[in-house]
């Protein structure tokens, strides 16, 4: 996914009220942007960090700019959680993710069968049947190349794993959880058990019950997001945060 128009580089002053980010532009002017991330953004919200913004060009928006990338040490992190869905959807169209290839059709945000809320994707094929997919944007970098999800306790994320387990059990169809690794320094994905132990427990139980779990890196650059390929996913991890 190529960023168009090109992103604007700036410096982060502060992230506040969860959805706002104050930045300084190269000319020294101050700008307030929308921050499209509900997590803690651990390691991605340090004042003075290099950041990149998307300009919507929409003067009617209260905040026409959106925070897209943050430099975390020597690495880049895409903090716009909506990008995971967009990049994976485009990758499915181009058959770049083998576990999700070969389906006749797919659509976004299907209703959860027999439950409340929605999954991110539903794939269907007359030979393969249904496949429900939930995507999670992984931005938390740990030591030794590990990255973890979530970066803050999330009732919603926990519920999605529970629903994947139920759909797998009741419908006997494929249920897939994909961690979209949006951190250029992450080489191995895991669950953040120090932050939300119950989430890691649910994921391990889901795997035991036939839910498929994958980690796929979407390499961020200031020019584009590149579907870079699969990464190993491992279970519990106690590596300290960077």
Same domain, yes or no: 30 and 57:
yes
Same domain, yes or no: 154 and 38:
no
Alpha helix segments (H runs only) across 62-211: 82-93, 155-171, 197-208
Same domain, yes or no: 122 and 51:
no
In a domain, 197, yes or no: yes
In a domain, 43, yes or no: yes
Same domain, yes or no: 104 and 46:
no
DSSP state of 157: H
Same domain, yes or no: 113 and 43:
no
Of 78, 111, 129, the last residue of a domain is: 78
Same domain, yes or no: 161 and 95:
yes
User: Number of folded domains in the chain?
Assistant: 2
User: What tokens were used for 26?
Assistant: 């190269």
Residue 179 · residue 87 · CB < 8 Å: no
Instruction: Print the domain residue range for 111.
Output: 82-231
Give the CATH number, domain containing residue 72: 2.40.50.580
Of 78, 103, 132, the last residue of a domain is: 78
Same domain, yes or no: 210 and 101:
yes
- How far CA 170 is from CA of 54, 157, 165, in Å, comes to 42, 20, 9
5 cis-preceded (ω within 30 degrees of 0): yes
Residue 239 · residue 195 · CB < 8 Å: no
Of 37, 58, 78, the last residue of a domain is: 78
Same domain, yes or no: 66 and 149:
no
In a domain, 236, yes or no: no
Residue 103 · residue 43 · CB < 8 Å: no
Same domain, yes or no: 71 and 98:
no
pTM over 0.85: yes
Sort residue 130 into left (φ over 0), alpha (ψ -120 to 50) or beta: beta
DSSP3 helix / strand / coil % (the chain, rounded to 5) = 20, 40, 40
DSSP state of 112: P
Same domain, yes or no: 52 and 86:
no
Residue 84 · residue 137 · CB < 8 Å: yes
Per-residue model confidence (pLDDT) at position 140 = 98
Per-residue model confidence (pLDDT) at position 235 = 81
Per-residue model confidence (pLDDT) at position 241 = 39
Same domain, yes or no: 104 and 203:
yes
Give the CATH number, domain containing residue 96: 3.40.1350.60
**Strand-pair partners of 225:** 220
**Intervals of the chain under pLDDT 50:** 237-242
């Amino acid at each position: 996914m190529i960023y168009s128009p090109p992103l604007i580089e700036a410096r982060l002053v502060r992230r506040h009220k969860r959805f706002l980010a104050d930045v300084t532009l190269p000319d020294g002017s101050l700008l307030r942007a929308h921050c499209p991330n509900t997590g803690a953004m651990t390691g991605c919200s340090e004042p003075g960090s290099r950041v990149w913004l998307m300009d919507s060009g929409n003067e009617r928006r209260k905040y026409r700019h959106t925070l897209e990338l943050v430099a975390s040490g020597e690495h880049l992190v895409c903090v716009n959680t909506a990008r995971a869905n967009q990049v994976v959807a485009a990758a499915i169209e181009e058959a770049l993710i083998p576990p999700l290839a070969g389906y006749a059709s797919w659509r976004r945000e299907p209703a959860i069968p027999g439950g409340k809320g929605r999954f991110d994707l539903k794939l269907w094929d007359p030979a393969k049947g249904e496949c429900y997919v939930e995507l999670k944007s992984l931005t938390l970098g740990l030591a030794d190349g590990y990255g973890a999800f979530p970066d803050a306790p999330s009732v919603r994320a926990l519920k999605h794993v529970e629903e994947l387990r139920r759909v797998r059990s009741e419908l006997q169809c494929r249920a897939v959880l994909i961690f979209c690794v949006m951190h250029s320094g992450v080489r191995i994905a895991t669950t953040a058990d120090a932050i939300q132990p119950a989430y890691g427990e649910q994921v391990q139980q889901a795997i035991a019950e036939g839910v498929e779990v994958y980690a796929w890196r979407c390499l961020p650059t200031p020019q584009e997001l590149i579907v870079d390929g699969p990464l190993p996913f491992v279970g519990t991890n106690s590596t300290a945060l960077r």
